[in-house]
Amino acid sequence: MNMRLIYILIALSLGSSSCKSFLDTEPTDFVTPSYKTVNDFDLALAGVYDILGNRTFYGDVWPYWLNVSTDIEYTNTGSSNATVYIYGPAEANVTDFWKVLYNGIYRANLILDVIDDTDLADGPKNRIKGQALFLRAYYYFMLVSNYGDVPLYLTVKPSINQMDVPRTPMREVYDLVIADMLEAEQLVDEVAGGNTEATVNFGGRVSRSAVQGILARVYLKMAGYPLMDRAKYADALKWSLAVRNSGLHSLNPDYSDVFIKYAKDEYDIRESIWEVEFYGNTQGAMQEYTYYIGARGGIRTQDAELGRSGGLINGSGKLFDLYELDPNSTAVPLKASLDLRRDWNLAPYTYVGTPGVKTPNNDRWRRNMGKWRREYEVVSPKDISTSPQNFPILRYADVLLMAAEAENELNGPDNAYTYINEVRRRAYGLLLPQPPHAGVDADLPADLTKDEFREMIKDERAREFCFEASRRTDLIRWGNFVGDMKNYIAWALANGGVEGHVLGSRNVSDRNVLLPIPTYDMALNKALTQNPGY
């Protein structure tokens, strides 16, 4: 998509101090670029944002290679590679993911090292500093939650005599993440409709709501495995309610329209609070496209007008069965669902031939990921293997479900129903001008125990956020990732699944709770140690 703050890839380079003698002078310091004007800093900030859309992050590696195989989704390639947890310290995707996150941290540090010493007015200075702080923190959050203890680099001027930097204990990394985000929350702008003159009116830029919502996510992670700091549920509730109580956000009444907007290059910051910007069709100078939609996922078709897709990503039979059936449905062989999300997320058809003809798909184990549909894209011509559709990092529905989860863990389900039922009512079409199922009650039963409600939260997150690269991380923080994946094997094979549907589960072991520290970096940094099992 074309974002209002245009991403520009800029060359960031290191210099060296001038020398009297080229041969006998040792380097003593690093020199950072000279940023002076608001425009200088905005260009540098675009470079920090640019990391999000890199192929080795949200453009491909994160949603596909590292997160495509869980109990609710799988890739149908049958390949024995990183997509099914076959990887080691030399795996390219694991290495590239690590590298791109540290590259983002480096770019943020270039800004943070100098911005306080400039003559910029407080308004733009705060706006730029806040975004750089938050993005640095977010990249560290992705590192620590996936690799465990990681080295901390808080400046672009490390000691030239100490290049071997040991791993910082994860608790200290989380403390840095929280500190940066809390400071950023006071500096960044609100979304449009807030009280500040400068407001954020599109999801590609970090707003105060984005910071608050991601803070809730970080605290939820800290409350779960491996830190198990249960006191952090209170913080998760505080920050998710800060977003809700701001009055700046609401659910799009139509679940499918959330994703159609990504295809149509439209923003809805009330629902899609923070998203990765993709744009272009591999033609022209400005490009930042995703392989996750197109080459990997989408409704299978060879029709270029519709938008080609390999249809490599499918939902599992377990995900299909999580959606409530319509008891009055007479459809065969698969009954209709009261939950409108099912047939949007799990496409009930594929396209056959060219031009593509919609052909029903009645196999609940082989339905393509339909969440992003290339037929709605407005960029023309459509590229054969990439897409310009944005990817959500934080949606308002996530804020509501985080509030429900934290409230239940703290106080039980009584007050948590409000938040989860908002999401469910949208899912059943009750927020639409003409609800398709008159008289249907989407609310959860009012007499659930705390443990029962927790299980409902887990299922609701699967129904709502399938294919959004959150299931693996959810299962890990809930503390039984390996057990859940292994239990899924027996369920799948007893309920119509075959071995190809459980490849990932077959390969999962305790070591996969964390990614390995890349061999490449261990060779450069002798102070690094490896994670267990690798």
Q: So what's the pLDDT on residue 114?
A: 96
Handedness of CA 128, 134, 139, 140 (dihedral sign): positive
Cα dihedral 420, 421, 427, 432 in deg (nearest 10): -140
Mean pLDDT of 35-59: 96
SS3 state at 325: strand
Q: What is the mean pLDDT of the chain?
A: 92
Say if residue 475's pLDDT is above 80: yes
CA distance 208 to 184: 8
Percentage of the chain modeled with pLDDT above 90: 87
Backbone angles phi, psi at 315, to 5 degrees: -85, 155
Is residue 78 within 8 A of residue 503, CB to CB? The reply is yes
What is the pLDDT confidence band of residue 144, given thresholds at 50, 70 and 90? very high
Nearest by Cα to 465 from 374, 375, 393, 362: 393
Unique residue bearing structure tokens 């008159």: 438
**Domain parsing of the chain, residue ranges:** 1-17+30-188+480-534, 289-389
Q: So what's the pLDDT on residue 287?
A: 77
Say if residue 27's pLDDT is above 70: no
| Of the listed ranges 1-5, 14-18, 77-81, 262-266, the one predicted with least confidence | 14-18
Q: How many CB atoms lie within 10 A of CB 303?
A: 18
SS3 state at 191: strand
pLDDT tens, 356-380? 999 999 999 999 999 999 999 999 9
CA distance 78 to 502: 10
pLDDT tens, 173-195? 999 999 999 999 999 999 998 77
Nearest by Cα to 184 from 280, 270, 108: 108
Please list, in sequence order, all residues whose beta carbon lies within 8 angstroms of the beta carbon of residue 376, skipping any fewer than 6 positions away: 260, 263, 264
pLDDT tens, 91-127? 999 999 999 999 999 999 999 999 999 999 999 999 9
What is the pLDDT confidence band of residue 31, given thresholds at 50, 70 and 90? low
Beta bridge partner(s), residue 301: 309
Q: So what's the pLDDT on residue 160?
A: 62
CA distance 203 to 269: 5
Mean pLDDT of 411-434: 98
Mean pLDDT of 399-422: 98
Q: So what's the pLDDT on residue 161?
A: 65
pLDDT tens, 345-361? 999 999 999 999 999 99
CA distance 309 to 355: 14
pLDDT tens, 389-405? 999 999 999 999 999 99
Say if residue 29's pLDDT is above 90: no
| Of the listed ranges 229-233, 277-281, 297-301, 488-492, the one predicted with least confidence | 277-281
Please list, in sequence order, all residues whose beta carbon lies within 8 angstroms of the beta carbon of residue 70, skipping any fewer than 6 positions away: 471, 472, 475, 485, 504
Nearest by Cα to 371 from 303, 468, 457, 301: 468
Nearest by Cα to 375 from 478, 525, 259: 259
> Can you list the alpha helix ranges (DSSP code H) found in 232-325?
232-245, 255-263, 317-322
Is residue 213 within 8 A of residue 274, CB to CB? The reply is yes
pLDDT tens, 254-290? 999 999 999 999 999 999 999 999 988 888 766 789 9
The one-letter code for the residue type at 39 is N
What is the pLDDT confidence band of residue 438, given thresholds at 50, 70 and 90? confident
Both tokens assigned to 141: 């959050």
Determine whether 139 is exposed, middle or buried from the number of CB atoms within 10 Å of its CB (0-12, 13-18, 19+). Answer: buried
Q: What is the CATH number of domain 1-17+30-188+480-534?
A: 1.25.40.390
Q: So what's the pLDDT on residue 159?
A: 64
